[in-house]
Amino acid sequence: MIKFLDSKLFRYLSVFLFLNSSILPVKSSSALAAWAIKTNGVLELRTKSNTNLRAYFQKANQISGDRFWVDFPGELKNPRTIKGNGPIKEIRLGKPNNGQTRLVIEFKEETYLKPLTWRLVGLDQNRWRINLFEPKYPFKKIGEGQVSKRIGNIRKYEKTIYKKKSDYKYLKLPDVKQNKFLVVIDPGHGGPDPGAIGIGGIRETDVVLEVSKIVKNLLSEKGIKVKLTRKNEVDLDLPPRVSFANNIDADIFVSIHANASRGKRRDINGLETFYYRGWRGRLLAKKIQKQILRVSPGSPDRGVKQGRYYVIKNTRMPAVLVEIGFLTGRLDARRLEKTTHRKRLAYAIAKGILEYLHKIG
């Protein structure tokens, strides 16, 4: 949600995508690949990978009407103005600074806007959507390029991971040797210890238990033997979790948690993965961190770090502790309360684990 910065200018909404490619250099071509204002008042964007978007709104003044604009990295080669229709006065594509592109939508005077309700939502790796207004009268779609981008030539897989209701088979999980590996998944907290309490009363123990069970199912389907340190809301101290993994001689140990910031600051969001020692622990952490970022566009990368948490310090096998987002953060909490996003995170964690096991053989 965009909030007031002063009486006329709203604070920017900043969103990030974390993908495989590197950030665009300053003088590269524009990260804006396509855009469209649809007849239902929705603006859709397609960008290049690893794009940082900044969106602004400004009230009308004596010169211009209400304006919404988005800044993109990369150089725009052909500045232009496009005549609008209906509630849209015009669209301008320009270069506010070297190495930047700006898409400006200027509205006609009578257009009723509610910018405090606006949210810029990531649909997949490089597509974005924001509902700008509710049209009172029909108008023609305005846009350039193809916003919807097919994945290969397989029509049945065109829906994004944000709307996919199946088990993500179209994002193929790596294959590993059957019945060779034993993995322990540790859902943090439990029972009388709910862990972090987030926005709307969302509890860490509930989130991580659901994610952990889905991870177990995904790994089991790949021929991995998986054990959970807890399967329900029970009181389980830290030493028994470690002893359980050590006693069954697990190959890896993955503890799943959700974060909370001091003071419950809603502007703090992000994902991070901890390991205690060794190149194997670090490799496992990097594999998982990479994948959870891919399914959480906009949530900051807080990195792979060394930590001294009891459960990863005292296990004898490579071990990591994954923080899948801030329950107190506005962006992360809104996602973590939804089962669809928990499934995405579980898929990502499972994929990271499988990539690690495939690597070490």
Give the DSSP per-residue string, 188-218.
Answer: --BTTB---B-GGG-BHHHHHHHHHHHHHHH
- At 60 the pLDDT is 86
Helix (H) or strand (E) holding 333: helix 330-336
- At 98 the pLDDT is 86
What distance lies between CA 301 and its chain's CA centroid?
10
For 81, the token pair is 């103005």
- At 157 the pLDDT is 36
How confident is the model over 14-32, as pLDDT tens digits? Answer: 333 233 333 333 345 888 9
- At 116 the pLDDT is 84
Other CB atoms within a 10 A radius of the CB of residue 21 amount to 11
**By C-alpha distance, which of 311, 333, 38 is closest to 185?**
311
Say if residue 182 is exposed, middle or buried (CB neighbours under 10 Å; 0-12, 13-18, 19+). middle
296 SS3 class: coil
Low-confidence ranges of the chain (pLDDT < 50): 1-27, 150-170
Give yes or no for a contact between 233 and 191, defined as CB atoms under 8 angstroms apart: yes
Would you list the DSSP string of 110-156? T----GGG---EE-SSSEEEEE----SS----EEES--S--STT-GG
- At 28 the pLDDT is 54
Q: Measured in Å, how far apart are the chain's first and last C-alpha atoms?
A: 46
Rounded to whole angstroms, the Cα distance separating 339 from 342 reads: 5
Number of helical H runs and strand E runs in the chain: 6, 17
Instruction: For the chain, give percent helix, strand, coil, nearest 5.
Output: 25, 30, 45
Helix (H) or strand (E) holding 358: helix 339-360
Sign of the CA dihedral running 207, 283, 20, 304: positive
Q: Which pTM does this prediction carry?
A: 0.57
**CB under 8 Å to 142, separation ≥6 — which residues?**
36, 37, 82, 84, 85, 88, 91
Say if residue 176 is exposed, middle or buried (CB neighbours under 10 Å; 0-12, 13-18, 19+). buried
**CB under 8 Å to 208, separation ≥6 — which residues?**
187, 188, 189, 195, 256, 257, 258, 324
- At 135 the pLDDT is 87
For 148, the token pair is 């919807």
